[in-house]
């Protein structure tokens, strides 16, 4: 399809932030598959004078395991370049002296190894998938309702995602469930939280207007980045839907077919 | 405690509607226990010239089994006097030609025996308790998201209830989850839906101002009845909390210690 708009900022750009699932690869059996052109596109960005970071709401594995998967798929990527909600949550817990009750996927538990989990004074939920049993949700609810000031953190707020065997409910659905049960508002850690994008900008030492976010999720990637003062481009891969281009509240600064095309546009404008 | 207000309508009353759990009995091990004075209070109402109906959001058993339990506890009650969401849902399904995918407690399934459930074009959720597994909720979600016009019915909208082993998440929590996942608004069947109260009034052949609702749930019993034009009295048993008497939006027409006291007030005003 034709490109739809493009931010006129490519020449003044100093950094690019990439969403991962749906931009670099599609998930599925085993490691999933790289999206055509994306491995090469990451290589080109790394060879340029732009800073590059990766920003994901993935919470089913530790960053180490997640990055190893991407490396197996052929991507030139390392753990220190990847921002995901679990390490961000650990930073929040330590800063605020909080001890979590965790309702997360088993694979991400090691990220919380360094955290005191005795006598919990908050609840953290991630994309727990099969761990979202009635019993486990009830247990998280009882911890919350037993606190003087119930405090719920949600690692993302997605509605659902696609796997090879069909659509699957994401963490946001269970966040809404617990919000209603306890009459509270959760704090979201991960995209689209401005704090999460800001931590990526801080790591690059850049101002928002110097960085561009590229993602397949209009609301969480593009809208979240824009809310933080960055530009946001949507790719027509992953969870992109044609109706995104007529979204009532979020308009991408540009929409292109895939990451390869986006990178060619950026580098082309910069005279590479 | 002292009575707090009382509707001045007792003399013109023609019917009384009673909530069940928390008014007649407290649930728990086995059949639970009758609340002191409530068996006698029901007897007195039946001996009066007032019509009497029972109105519950119970969806874990068929009406037959539920009424048999109340009879074992000592209550003079029969199936035709009891209004519960499942039969109301069956009426809606037949009227609108709908075929449901059911996510309910096993015990209530027989209520839906007469309903065509092939090739579903709507989803009905009840208080499914342990049946609210990730897999079952995902399945209900996939049915909804696959429909051209997703249609979700929720048998009640409670947040949680109390059993002997602690608080348990109620159907409203999972209603909110599916509402968020599919970006829709569920139709609630049961209290506090005005349609549900209206069906009880129709059965008695009464106008709203001729009937009084007595319940322990301020929002669903009292507020729901008031929304329908009835008066509503709250009893200080079951899920009553002192903070109910300072609720920001719902004010009961009267608050008394228990059903026995409420019935004595009603019959006393009528000169019995």
Residue B164: other Cβ atoms inside 10 A: 10
Residue A49 clears pLDDT 80, i.e. is over it? yes
Number of Cα atoms under 13 Å in the Cβ half of residue A1: 13
CB B144 within 8 A of CB B152: yes
B-interface mutation test, from A104, A173, A175, A185, most B Cβ less than 10 A away: A173
pLDDT band at A272 (very low <50, low <70, confident <90, very high): low
B-interface mutation test, from A176, A182, A244, A247, most B Cβ less than 10 A away: A176
pLDDT band at B150 (very low <50, low <70, confident <90, very high): very high
CB A169 within 8 A of CB A52: no
pLDDT value, residue B224: 96
pLDDT tens-place string over residues B197-212:
999 999 999 999 999 9
Cβ of A141 within 8 Å of Cβ of B133? The answer is no
pLDDT value, residue A38: 98
A-interface mutation test, from B126, B140, B150, B180, most A Cβ less than 10 A away: B180
Nearest chain A residue to B132, by CA: A134
Residue B29 clears pLDDT 90, i.e. is over it? no
Cβ of B134 within 8 Å of Cβ of A130? The answer is yes
B-interface mutation test, from A152, A166, A180, most B Cβ less than 10 A away: A180
pLDDT tens-place string over residues B35-89:
999 999 999 999 999 999 999 999 999 999 999 999 999 999 999 999 999 999 9
pLDDT value, residue A98: 98
- DSSP for B126-142? ---GGG--HHHHHHHHH
- Choose the weakest-confidence range: A83-87, A205-209, B27-31: B27-31
Strands (E), A56-146: 82-83, 100-103, 122-125
pLDDT value, residue B191: 95
Q: Chain B interface residues facing chain A, Cβ-Cβ under 8 Å?
A: 128-135, 137-138, 141-142, 145, 159-160, 166-169, 172-174, 176-181, 183
Cβ of B174 within 8 Å of Cβ of A178? The answer is no
Residue A28 clears pLDDT 90, i.e. is over it? no
Looking at every residue in chain B, the average pLDDT score rounds to 94
d(CA B151, nearest CA chain A) in Å:
17
Q: Chain A interface residues facing chain B, Cβ-Cβ under 8 Å?
A: 128-135, 137-138, 141-142, 145, 159-160, 166-169, 172-174, 176-181, 183
Contacts of A167 in chain B (CB under 8 A): 138, 141-142, 145
d(CA B179, nearest CA chain A) in Å:
8
pLDDT tens-place string over residues A144-172:
999 999 999 999 999 998 777 788 999 99
pLDDT tens-place string over residues A1-21:
788 878 877 788 999 999 999
CB A9 within 8 A of CB A231: yes
Report helix, strand or coil for A133: coil
A-interface mutation test, from B129, B169, B184, B239, most A Cβ less than 10 A away: B169
The span from the CA of A22 to the CA of B229, in Å, is 53
Cβ of B134 within 8 Å of Cβ of A131? The answer is yes
Tokens of B92: 């809606």
pLDDT tens-place string over residues B205-241:
999 999 999 999 999 999 999 999 999 999 999 989 8
pLDDT band at B9 (very low <50, low <70, confident <90, very high): confident
Q: What is the ipTM, given to two decimal places?
A: 0.89
The span from the CA of A66 to the CA of A63, in Å, is 5
The span from the CA of B60 to the CA of B132, in Å, is 13
Contacts of A145 in chain B (CB under 8 A): 160, 167
Buried-exposed string B107-127: b where 16+ CB fall within 10 A, e elsewhere:
bbeebbeeeeeeebbbbbbbb
pLDDT value, residue B272: 67
User: Out of A129, A133, A169, whose CB is closest to B141?
Assistant: A169
Tokens of A181: 């049960």
Look at strands A254-256 and A231-235 and give their pairing. Answer: parallel
Contacts of A160 in chain B (CB under 8 A): 141, 145, 181
User: Out of A138, A166, A168, whose CB is closest to B169?
Assistant: A138
> Alpha helix (H) ranges present in chain B?
38-47, 63-73, 85-96, 134-145, 171-182, 194-204, 224-227, 259-269
- Which residues make Cβ contacts (< 8 Å) with residue B71, sequence separation at least 6? B77
- DSSP for A150-162? --EEEE----EEE
Contacts of B178 in chain A (CB under 8 A): 173
Contacts of A129 in chain B (CB under 8 A): 134
Long-range Cβ contacts of B73-76 (<8 Å, 24+ apart): B73/B24, B73/B25, B73/B31, B73/B32, B73/B33, B73/B34, B73/B39, B74/B34, B74/B39, B75/B24, B75/B25, B75/B34, B75/B38, B75/B39, B75/B42, B76/B39, B76/B42, B76/B43, B76/B46
The span from the CA of B90 to the CA of B92, in Å, is 5
pLDDT value, residue A193: 94
Q: Find the length of chain B.
A: 272
Report helix, strand or coil for A35: coil
Residue B182 clears pLDDT 80, i.e. is over it? yes
pLDDT value, residue A46: 97
Tokens of A43: 């290589």
Nearest chain B residue to A174, by CA: B177
Tokens of A99: 């001890």
Residue B8: other Cβ atoms inside 10 A: 11
User: Out of A141, A169, A172, whose CB is closest to B138?
Assistant: A169
């Amino acid at each position: 399809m034709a490109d739809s708009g493009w931010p006129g900022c490519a020449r003044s750009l100093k950094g690019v932030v990439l969403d991962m699932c749906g931009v670099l690869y599609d998930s599925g059996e085993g490691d999933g598959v790289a999206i055509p052109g994306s491995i090469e596109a990451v290589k080109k960005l790394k060879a340029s004078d732009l800073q590059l970071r990766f920003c994901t709401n993935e919470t089913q594995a530790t960053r180490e395991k997640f990055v190893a998967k991407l490396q197996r798929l052929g991507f030139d990527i390392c753990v220190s370049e990847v921002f995901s909600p679990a390490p961000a949550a650990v930073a929040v817990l330590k800063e605020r002296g909080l001890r979590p009750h965790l309702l997360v996927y088993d694979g991400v538990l090691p990220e919380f190894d360094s955290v005191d989990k005795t006598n919990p004074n908050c609840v953290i939920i991630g994309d727990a998938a099969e761990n979202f049993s009635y019993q486990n949700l009830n247990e998280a609810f009882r911890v919350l309702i037993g606190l003087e000031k119930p405090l719920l953190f949600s690692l993302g707020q997605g509605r659902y995602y696609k796997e090879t065997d069909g659509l699957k409910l994401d963490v946001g659905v269970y966040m809404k469930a617990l919000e209603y049960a306890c009459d509270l508002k959760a704090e979201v850690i991960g995209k689209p939280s401005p704090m999460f994008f800001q931590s990526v900008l801080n790591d690059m030492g850049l101002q928002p207007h110097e960085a561009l976010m590229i993602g397949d999720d209009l609301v969480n990637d593009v809208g979240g980045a824009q809310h933080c003062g960055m530009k946001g481009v949507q790719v027509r891969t992953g969870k992109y839907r044609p109706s995104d281009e007529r979204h009532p509240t979020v308009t991408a600064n540009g929409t292109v077919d895939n990451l390869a095309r986006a990178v060619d546009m950026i580098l082309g404008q910069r005279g590479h």
